[in-house]
């Protein structure tokens, strides 16, 4: 309370934080209550083992929701998992969920999907929550105005055991976007443009709040794409204030509150928006008019230029360490400085991942693919984020468009975003990917990843090289 | 968790910025369900060629850096994926300390939970340590978490900062789940006025 007895104006983040502090012991980190803990097969087995070793139960199994997504094949679901170690990891999650009473959307579930896709689409992710998951892209859920961040396995165990996490309070950053996103410039391009500007460590130690008309104008799918990539700028989390777009998306979803519960929830969610005059530790202005469809050229998401540009010259890097990193990145990527981006040919195209596998992403890609054919030199795959999205896309006939154009239409999962399952690049293969990381070897050892939007990926599949979607002739 | 008070050891310079956790431990090794045995896969794609042979000019293979326990790198070490396997791999390989000009948040948290010390120093100090580790055989640093000092026996000395609570946990190797459970009454009181929402009850009914 201030001297006058009024609360100081607070940001959305500060309201979420204050609402979840369980204890603030002197000289220790604050203890934050976690409303929802999402769990998947890769980062949880050691955490459940830790519980067993100490004889601890899961404190709130019904605030815990599990699915399998990272290492499962995207081939038809009836087929056996050929990788025995992957199969064992999936079995471990099944066993752990049974033993500790955690709800699981299993392999054969009609709702299985990427953890950051199914939370929102099932109405499990709600505004105002604190959400964690042993996965860095948990930042996705910030699109709903929930404080959502990735944690390691020790912290997964901590949340399973206590439903709390000791947390140092992060700093606050507002990214204020002005103007309007041009046709063909998507939420993905906004995210890549921001990371290109502030760098992959530009928001380390901060929680980002995205604001401004172009952010407000984004659909929930677009907002999820934007918040998803917050971690690629180093941010602890990315947030967008909940508004009518948010409520309309959540309303009626399977696990969303209903009736009186819904009215009460929306009433509360409306109080979450930042107060006028609330201060951020740092504010960054982005002019949407300066953005373009982007393509990464290097081995981190900050190494990015507009599709109409060229691979940068090494003398444009001010710092020696950055220049050397760029040189190493170009050697890995097999690219020369000054190469026009549109002249770069691709071997593979991946449309999917927790960044860009939602229905709107598939609609955008299908609009580009309609009536076209994948270049004969390219292998292109579309991996819906969830079984729900897959069904919805099939009802709309999107799978027909993709299949007719020569794209593969797969089952849901993380797939080639990180290549833990059999979907990987071969050494030297170049891929236009709608995923979130172009790190060395991310999609397969020696694979060369270029991050783009779904429309840009579909266009590259058809053209056989990167091409400016703003000049595309839609059929 | 393994406590950390003081450590003296050999230094290996990675001399790279933005080292992501996909490099520290590639995804094909994340399918194991144990916490142990990840050391042999550390920096796998940088250490080994596609056919499993040593890439001999990678620093970790150089005879002069064998048995190093302090890794030095540039800014934003540990960025990317939240995989704690990266920390397990570094520790299993024998590292007790990573020195860098900055660390990604999740990696730093994971390190803290396992007793791997992350020391932030300025770019100039990192440059100096890197230079010395390249030029001087068996170059060693002494790191003292009680005095927050890094020094060698050739006149290099630097201090670093760490928040007091993290330092306290590391020095004492505290089980922080145990610490949190000491707040049982407060957690229970919080839960009483913040019951699981309708959505959670629905999940319970349907699944």
How would you write chain A as a 3-class SS string? CCCCCCCCCCCHHHHHHHHHEEECCCCCCEEEECCEEEECCCCCHHHHHHHHHHCCCCCCHHHEEEECCCCCCCCCCCCCCCCHHHHHHHHHHHHHHHHHCCCEECCCCCCCECHHHHHHHCCCCCCCCEEEECCHHHHHHHHHCCEEEECCHHHHHHHHHHCEEEECCCEEEEEEEECCCCCCCCHHHHHHHHHHHHCCCCCCCEEEEEECHHHHCCCHHHHHHHHHHHHHHCCCEEECCCCHHHHHHHCCCCCCCCHHHHHHHHHHHCCCCCCCCCCCCEEEEEEHHHCCCEEECCCCCCCEEECCCECCCHHHCCCHHHHHHHHHHHHHHCCCCCCEHHHCECCEEEECCCCCCCHHHHHHHHHHHCCCCCCCCCEEEECCCEHHHHHHHHHHCHHHHHHHHCCEECCCCCHHHCCCCCCCCCCCCEEEECCCCCCCCCCCCCCEEEECCHHHHHHHHHHCECCCHHHCCCC
Count the neighbouring beta carbons within 10 Å of the beta carbon of residue A404: 14
Q: Are B198 and A56 within 8 A, CB to CB? A: no
pLDDT 10s digit of each residue in chain A, 475 long?
A: 344 456 799 999 999 999 999 999 888 899 999 999 999 999 999 999 999 999 999 999 989 999 999 999 999 988 889 999 999 999 999 999 999 999 999 999 999 999 999 999 999 999 999 999 999 999 999 999 999 999 999 999 999 999 999 999 999 999 999 999 999 999 999 999 999 999 999 999 999 999 999 999 999 999 999 999 999 999 999 999 999 999 999 999 999 999 988 998 999 999 999 999 999 999 999 999 999 999 999 999 999 999 999 999 999 999 999 999 999 999 999 999 999 999 999 999 999 999 999 999 999 999 999 999 999 999 999 999 999 999 999 999 999 999 999 999 999 999 999 999 999 999 999 999 999 999 999 999 999 999 999 999 999 999 999 999 999 999 9
| Residue from the list A25, A151, A257 with its beta carbon closest to the beta carbon of B82 | A151
More confident site: B50 or B175: B50
In which residue are the tokens 């929102």 written?
A: A120
Q: Give the phi and the psi of residue A150 in degrees, each rounded to 5.
A: -80, 150
Question: Sorting pLDDT into bands at 50, 70 and 90, what band is B205?
Answer: very low
Residue of A nearest to B79 (CA): A234
Residue of B nearest to A35 (CA): B196
Q: In what order do the strands lie in the sheet with A237-239?
A: A237-239, A206-211, A171-178, A282-287
Q: Which of residues 58-77 of A touch B (CB under 8 A)?
A: 60, 62-63, 65, 70-71
Q: Is A236 on the interface with B (CB under 8 A)?
A: yes
Confidence check: pLDDT of B207 > 60: no
User: Across the interface, do B76 and A123 touch by the CB < 8 Å criterion?
Assistant: no
Count the neighbouring beta carbons within 10 Å of the beta carbon of residue A345: 13
Provide the token pair at A344: 């770069």
**Number of helical (H) and strand (E) elements in chain B, helices listed first:** 9, 7
User: Across the interface, do B196 and A60 touch by the CB < 8 Å criterion?
Assistant: yes
Mean pLDDT for chain B overall: 93
What is the domain partition of chain B in residue ranges?
6-174
Q: Give the phi and the psi of residue B78 in degrees, each rounded to 5.
A: 80, 20
Confidence check: pLDDT of B199 > 60: no
User: Across the interface, do B27 and A28 touch by the CB < 8 Å criterion?
Assistant: no
Provide the token pair at A371: 């009536």
Residue of B nearest to A416 (CA): B27
Q: Minimal CA–CA distance to A402: which of A375, A387, A422, A382?
A: A382
| Sheet strands (E) in chain B | 6-13, 70-72, 97-100, 117-120, 140-144, 149-151, 157-159
Provide the token pair at A432: 């236009």
Count the neighbouring beta carbons within 10 Å of the beta carbon of residue A76: 8
Q: Is A439 on the interface with B (CB under 8 A)?
A: yes
Name every chain A residue with its beta carbon within 8 A of the beta carbon of B18. 200-201, 300, 325
Residue of B nearest to A252 (CA): B199
CA distance A117 to A371: 29
| Residue from the list B50, B79, B87 with its beta carbon closest to the beta carbon of A427 | B50
Rounded to the nearest angstrom, the minimum Cα separation between A283 and chain B is 20
Three-state DSSP class for residue B186: helix
Count the neighbouring beta carbons within 10 Å of the beta carbon of residue A72: 26
A352 CA to centre of own chain: 11
Name every chain B residue with its beta carbon within 8 A of the beta carbon of A85. 31-32
User: Across the interface, do A29 and B87 touch by the CB < 8 Å criterion?
Assistant: no
Provide the token pair at A29: 């980190």
Residue of A nearest to B207 (CA): A103
Which residues, other chains included, contact A38 with Cβ-Cβ below 8 Å and sequence gap of 6+? A64, A65, A66, A67, A115, A116, A119, A131, A132, A133, A135, A138
Largest CA distance in chain B: 67
Provide the token pair at A400: 């027909």
Q: What is B6-174's CATH number, 3.30.450.30, 2.60.40.420, 3.40.1190.20, 3.20.19.10?
A: 3.20.19.10
User: Across the interface, do B183 and A437 touch by the CB < 8 Å criterion?
Assistant: no
User: Across the interface, do A158 and B74 touch by the CB < 8 Å criterion?
Assistant: no
In which residue are the tokens 């630097």 written?
A: B158
CA distance A299 to B133: 27
Name every chain A residue with its beta carbon within 8 A of the beta carbon of B105. 170, 204-205, 234, 236
Strands A36-39, B157-159: pairing kind? unpaired
Name every chain A residue with its beta carbon within 8 A of the beta carbon of B90. none
Please report the pLDDT score of residue A6 as a whole number.
60
Q: Is A422 on the interface with B (CB under 8 A)?
A: no
Rounded to the nearest angstrom, the minimum Cα separation between B59 and chain A is 16
Please report the pLDDT score of residue B196 as a whole number.
57
Task: Count CA atoms within 13 Å of residue B187 on its CB side.
Answer: 22
Name every chain B residue with its beta carbon within 8 A of the beta carbon of A157. 177
CA distance B178 to B191: 19
User: Across the interface, do A321 and B17 touch by the CB < 8 Å criterion?
Assistant: yes
Please report the pLDDT score of residue A409 as a whole number.
98
Q: Which of residues 317-376 of A touch B (CB under 8 A)?
A: 321-322, 325, 328
Question: Sorting pLDDT into bands at 50, 70 and 90, what band is B1?
Answer: confident
| Residue from the list B18, B103, B180 with its beta carbon closest to the beta carbon of A200 | B18
In which residue are the tokens 């390989």 written?
A: B93
Name every chain A residue with its beta carbon within 8 A of the beta carbon of B55. none
Per-residue pLDDT of B97-144, as tens digits, reads 999 999 999 999 999 999 999 999 999 999 999 999 999 999 999 999
CA distance A104 to A66: 5
Q: Is A263 on the interface with B (CB under 8 A)?
A: no
Strands A36-39, A64-67: pairing kind? parallel
Question: Sorting pLDDT into bands at 50, 70 and 90, what band is B198?
Answer: very low
User: Across the interface, do A62 and B110 touch by the CB < 8 Å criterion?
Assistant: no
Residue A67's DSSP bridge partners are A105
Provide the token pair at A462: 């058809």
Q: Distance from first CA to last CA of chain A, Å, rounded?
A: 60
CA distance A207 to A237: 5
Three-state DSSP class for residue B6: strand
Q: Are A151 and A134 within 8 A, CB to CB? A: yes
CA distance A447 to A338: 21
| Residue from the list B22, B109, B186 with its beta carbon closest to the beta carbon of A442 | B22
Provide the token pair at A343: 């002249």
In which residue are the tokens 């590259």 written?
A: A460
């Amino acid at each position: 309370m201030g001297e006058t007895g009024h609360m100081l104006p607070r940001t959305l983040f500060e309201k979420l934080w204050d609402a979840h502090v369980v204890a603030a012991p002197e000289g220790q980190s604050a203890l934050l209550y976690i409303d929802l803990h999402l769990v998947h097969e890769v980062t949880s087995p050691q955490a459940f083992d830790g519980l067993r070793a100490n004889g601890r139960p899961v404190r709130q199994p019904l605030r815990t929701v599990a699915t399998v997504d990272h290492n499962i094949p995207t081939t038809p679901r009836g087929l056996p998992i050929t990788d025995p170690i992957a199969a064992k990891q999936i079995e471990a999650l099944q066993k752990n969920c049974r033993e500790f009473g955690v709800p699981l959307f299993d392999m054969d579930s009609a709702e299985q999907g990427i953890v950051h896709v199914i939370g929102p689409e099932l109405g499990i992710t709600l505004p105002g929550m604190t959400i964690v998951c042993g996965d860095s892209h948990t930042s996705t859920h910030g699109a709903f105005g929930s404080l959502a961040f990735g944690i390691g396995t020790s912290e997964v165990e901590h949340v399973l055991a206590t439903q709390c996490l000791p947390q140092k309070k992060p700093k606050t950053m507002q990214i204020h976007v002005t103007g309007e996103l041009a046709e063909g410039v998507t939420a993905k391009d906004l995210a890549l443009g921001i990371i290109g500007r502030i760098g992959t460590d530009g928001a380390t130690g901060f929680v980002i709040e995205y604001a401004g008309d172009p952010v407000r104008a984004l659909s929930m799918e677009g907002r999820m794409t934007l918040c998803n990539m917050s971690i690629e700028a180093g941010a602890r989390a990315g947030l967008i204030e909940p508004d009518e777009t948010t409520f309309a998306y959540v309303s009626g979803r399977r696990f969303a509150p209903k009736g009186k519960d819904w009215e009460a929830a929306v009433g509360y969610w409306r109080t979450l928006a930042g107060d006028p005059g609330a201060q951020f530790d740092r504010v960054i202005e982005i002019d949407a008019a300066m953005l373009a469809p982007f393509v990464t050229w290097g081995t981190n998401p900050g190494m990015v230029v507009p599709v109409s540009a060229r691979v940068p010259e090494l003398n444009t890097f001010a710092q020696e360490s950055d220049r050397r990193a760029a040189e190493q990145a170009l050697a890995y990527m097999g690219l020369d400085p000054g190469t026009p981006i549109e002249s770069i040919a691709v071997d593979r195209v991946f449309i999917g991942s927790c960044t860009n596998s939602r229905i709107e992403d598939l609609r955008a890609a299908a609009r580009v693919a309609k009536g076209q054919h994948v270049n004969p030199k390219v292998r292109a795959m579309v991996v819906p984020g969830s079984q729900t999205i897959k069904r919805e896309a099939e009802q709309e006939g999107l799978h027909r468009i993709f299949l007719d154009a020569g794209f593969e239409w797969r089952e849901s999962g993380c797939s080639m975003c990180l290549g833990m399952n059999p979907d990987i690049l071969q050494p030297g293969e170049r891929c236009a990917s709608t995923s979130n990381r172009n790190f060395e070897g991310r999609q397969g050892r020696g694979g060369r990843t270029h991050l783009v939007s779904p429309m840009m990926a579909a266009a590259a599949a058809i053209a056989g090289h990167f091409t400016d979607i703003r000049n595309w002739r839609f059929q | 968790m393994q406590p950390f008070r003081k450590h003296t050891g050999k230094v290996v310079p990675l001399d790279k910025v933005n080292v992501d956790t996909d490099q520290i431990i590639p995804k094909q090794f994340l399918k194991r369900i144990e916490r142990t045995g990840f050391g042999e896969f550390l920096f796998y794609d940088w250490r080994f060629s596609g056919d499993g042979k040593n890439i001999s000019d990678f620093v970790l293979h150089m005879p002069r850096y064998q048995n190093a326990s302090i890794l030095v790198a540039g800014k934003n070490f540990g960025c990317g994926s939240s995989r704690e396997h990266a920390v397990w791999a570094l520790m299993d390989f024998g590292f007790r300390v990573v020195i860098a000009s900055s660390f990604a948040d999740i990696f730093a948290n994971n390190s803290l939970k396992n007793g791997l010390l992350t020391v932030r120093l300025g770019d100039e100090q990192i440059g100096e340590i890197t230079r010395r580790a390249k030029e001087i055989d068996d170059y060693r640093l002494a790191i003292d978490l009680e005095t927050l000092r890094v020094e060698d026996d050739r006149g290099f000395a630097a201090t670093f900062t760490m928040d007091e609570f993290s330092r306290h946990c590391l020095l004492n190797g505290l089980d922080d789940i145990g610490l949190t459970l000491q707040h049982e009454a407060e957690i229970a009181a919080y839960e009483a006025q913040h019951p699981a929402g309708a959505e959670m009850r629905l999940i319970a009914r349907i699944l």
